[in-house]
């Protein structure tokens, strides 16, 4: 099935036990803080409606074909992203330089996890707050105080960040297949069920319609080059594409499983959960007179108001932040795994050693983000705080650049036979659609968005 003379490669680190296993792992990677924390606040900062529309177009027209490209490259190479890109680069184009794309991905993963773990730490802290009843009948001022009590203290936020990082390293040490499939199978449905409960509450706030209008009425005059780039960045971030996480999971995918079907299922699930989060949060924001553009604290300062008012709110809130922590955890694992696989294969380290070394470096870098929400919050340059900058560079620049390189590689550098072999041996209509977007639509759209976001034209 491979290029002439080549044998199908075997995974170095085990395989998913079933197709459902892969879909679950991929969904576990995609569904996380990106859907529930980042989507609402970035949509809020960019004026809602028109941003959401651009985001949806980016998800389906660009994110989906790139996700399929990443999985097929990963499964064909069956190595960490650096070696996979080098190997396929050599096989398809006679140059190992494509490994640099993998290297950018590993580096991007470092940056992303360094702040992701800090926000993951906030969600763990919120389990404790929720269980202690701190949100009961709380007003906006109380909730703001609880939030800043956590994020503005480097000691408090640092401890939770440390705990979150230990949890993430722990699973990666054990090996990603074990436990992950089973956890996600329960987690994602439970999270959706709880969000539906919250949606029921949002409908009673009296501001539901206002929330819906904000989220879906496109006011194109509010759209700037910067917000189009933000929509693209959010699409990449929420789908986990552009840095090799999906490629790494694809390396563990059995040969006969359908890549398009798994990708479509995950993209639809991920998008639905983000929209659901928006529908839950904005009515609460408007009902309490909060500012939709207030930034990274949006979810943490709006949802507790709802929990504080509803019957059984302590239990619902505790469960919600517990599930959100799990969702963040399964994503964090997928951000760490590419770098760990790279360290293992490059320096022949054990899984445990590689995970602890990489994890510790990321943990240390995370403290700059911790400080940027606390004592260093007034230290601003370029886009704002350290967090604002690292978030912008990794999600709005590096992920799209990485994704562009990946999709160009799959669409232009790889032989038609190679990609058809992975995606659809019969090369039907779905395959042609993928190839058109991989060759033209996605590369052109990403390039134009990057250029306009950088204000180069």
Contacting positions for ligand PHE (CB under 6 A): 29-30, 32-35, 112, 237-238, 240, 243, 245, 331, 334-335
**Min dist. Cβ of residue 62 to ligand PHE (A):** 15
Tokens 């939770």 sit at which residue?
160
**Min dist. Cβ of residue 373 to ligand PHE (A):** 18
**Min dist. Cβ of residue 396 to ligand PHE (A):** 13
- Helices 351-372 + 154-174 axis angle, to 10: 160
381: β partners: 384
**Closer CB to ligand PHE, residue 32 or residue 359?**
32
Dmax (CA) of the chain: 69
Secondary structure (DSSP) of 387-404:
HHHHHIIIIIIIHHHHHH
For residues 452 and 450, give the distance between their C-alpha atoms in angstroms, rounded to a whole number: 6
For residues 342 and 53, give the distance between their C-alpha atoms in angstroms, rounded to a whole number: 37
> Which phi and psi angles does 384 have, rounded to 5°?
140, -130
Tell me the residue length of the chain: 457
**Closer CB to ligand PHE, residue 34 or residue 292?**
34
**Min dist. Cβ of residue 367 to ligand PHE (A):** 20
Q: Per the structure block, which two tokens stand in for 431? A: 């395959």
- Our CA dihedral for 395, 115, 340, 412, rounded to 10 degrees, sits at 0
**Closer CB to ligand PHE, residue 123 or residue 437?**
123
**Closer CB to ligand PHE, residue 119 or residue 215?**
119
For the chain, helix (H) and strand (E) counts, in that order, are 22, 0
**Min dist. Cβ of residue 384 to ligand PHE (A):** 21
For residues 208 and 318, give the distance between their C-alpha atoms in angstroms, rounded to a whole number: 24
**Min dist. Cβ of residue 39 to ligand PHE (A):** 8
Query: What is the helix (H) or strand (E) element at residue 108, kind and residue range?
Result: helix 99-131
Give me the helices (H) in 175-258, please. 180-203, 208-216, 225-239, 245-250
**Closer CB to ligand PHE, residue 309 or residue 330?**
330
Burial of 98 (0-12, 13-18, 19+ CB in 10 A): buried
Inter-residue contact 86 to 96 (CB < 8 Å): yes
**Closer CB to ligand PHE, residue 108 or residue 205?**
108
**Min dist. Cβ of residue 239 to ligand PHE (A):** 6
**Closer CB to ligand PHE, residue 131 or residue 190?**
190
**Min dist. Cβ of residue 297 to ligand PHE (A):** 17
> Which phi and psi angles does 373 have, rounded to 5°?
-95, -5
Nearest residue (beta carbon) to ligand PHE? 34
Count the Cβ atoms, other than its own, within 10 Å of residue 265: 14
**Closer CB to ligand PHE, residue 171 or residue 335?**
335
Count the Cβ atoms, other than its own, within 10 Å of residue 180: 24
Count the Cβ atoms, other than its own, within 10 Å of residue 443: 21
**Closer CB to ligand PHE, residue 46 or residue 240?**
240
**Min dist. Cβ of residue 55 to ligand PHE (A):** 13
**Closer CB to ligand PHE, residue 138 or residue 188?**
188
Which residues make Cβ contacts (< 8 Å) with residue 74, sequence separation at least 6? 81, 84, 246, 247, 248, 249, 250, 251, 253
DSSP secondary structure letter of residue 222: G
Inter-residue contact 47 to 219 (CB < 8 Å): yes
**Min dist. Cβ of residue 74 to ligand PHE (A):** 13
**Min dist. Cβ of residue 112 to ligand PHE (A):** 6
**Closer CB to ligand PHE, residue 42 or residue 134?**
42
């Amino acid at each position: 099935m491979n290029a002439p003379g080549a044998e199908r490669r075997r995974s170095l680190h085990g395989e998913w036990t079933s197709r459902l296993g892969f879909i679950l792992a991929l969904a576990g990677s995609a569904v996380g803080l990106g859907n529930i924390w980042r989507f609402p606040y970035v949509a809020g900062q960019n004026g809602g409606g028109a941003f959401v529309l651009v985001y949806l177009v980016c998800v389906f027209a660009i994110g989906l074909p790139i996700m399929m490209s990443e999985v097929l490259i990963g499964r064909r190479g069956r190595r960490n992203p650096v070696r996979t890109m080098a190997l396929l680069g050599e096989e398809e184009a006679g140059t190992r330089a494509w490994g640099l794309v993998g290297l950018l991905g590993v580096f991007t993963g470092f940056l992303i996890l360094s702040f992701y773990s800090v926000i993951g730490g906030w969600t763990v802290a919120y389990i404790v707050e929720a269980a202690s009843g701190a949100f009961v009948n709380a007003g906006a001022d109380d909730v703001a105080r609880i939030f800043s009590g956590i994020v503005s203290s480097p000691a408090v936020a640092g401890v939770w960040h440390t705990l979150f990082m230990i949890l993430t390293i722990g699973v990666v040490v054990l090996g990603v297949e074990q436990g992950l499939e089973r956890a996600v199978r329960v987690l994602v449905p439970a999270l959706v069920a709880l969000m539906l409960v919250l949606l029921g509450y949002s409908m009673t706030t009296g501001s539901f319609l206002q929330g819906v209008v904000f989220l879906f009425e496109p006011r194109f005059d509010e759209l700037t080059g910067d917000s189009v780039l933000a929509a693209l960045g959010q699409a990449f971030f929420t789908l986990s594409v552009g840095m090799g996480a999906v490629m790494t999971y694809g390396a563990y995918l059995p040969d006969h499983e359908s890549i398009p079907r798994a990708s479509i299922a995950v993209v639809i699930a991920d998008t639905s959960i983000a929209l659901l989060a928006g529908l839950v949060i904005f009515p609460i924001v408007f009902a309490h007179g909060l500012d939709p553009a207030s930034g990274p604290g949006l979810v943490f300062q709006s949802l507790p108001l709802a929990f504080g008012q509803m019957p059984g709110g302590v239990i619902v809130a505790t469960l919600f932040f517990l599930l959100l922590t799990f969702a963040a955890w399964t994503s964090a694992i997928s951000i760490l795994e590419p770098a760990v696989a790279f360290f293992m294969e490059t320096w022949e380290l054990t899984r445990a050693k590689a995970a602890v070394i990489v994890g510790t470096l990321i943990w240390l870098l995370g403290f700059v983000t911790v400080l940027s929400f606390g004592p260093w919050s007034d230290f601003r340059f370029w886009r704002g705080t350290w967090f604002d900058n690292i978030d912008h560079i990794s999600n709005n620049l590096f992920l799209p650049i990485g994704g562009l390189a990946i999709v160009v590689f799959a669409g232009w550098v790889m032989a038609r036979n190679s990609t058809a072999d992975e995606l659809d041996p019969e090369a039907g209509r779905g395959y042609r659609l993928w190839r058109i977007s991989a060759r033209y639509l996605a590369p052109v759209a990403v390039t134009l968005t990057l250029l306009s976001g950088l204000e180069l034209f």
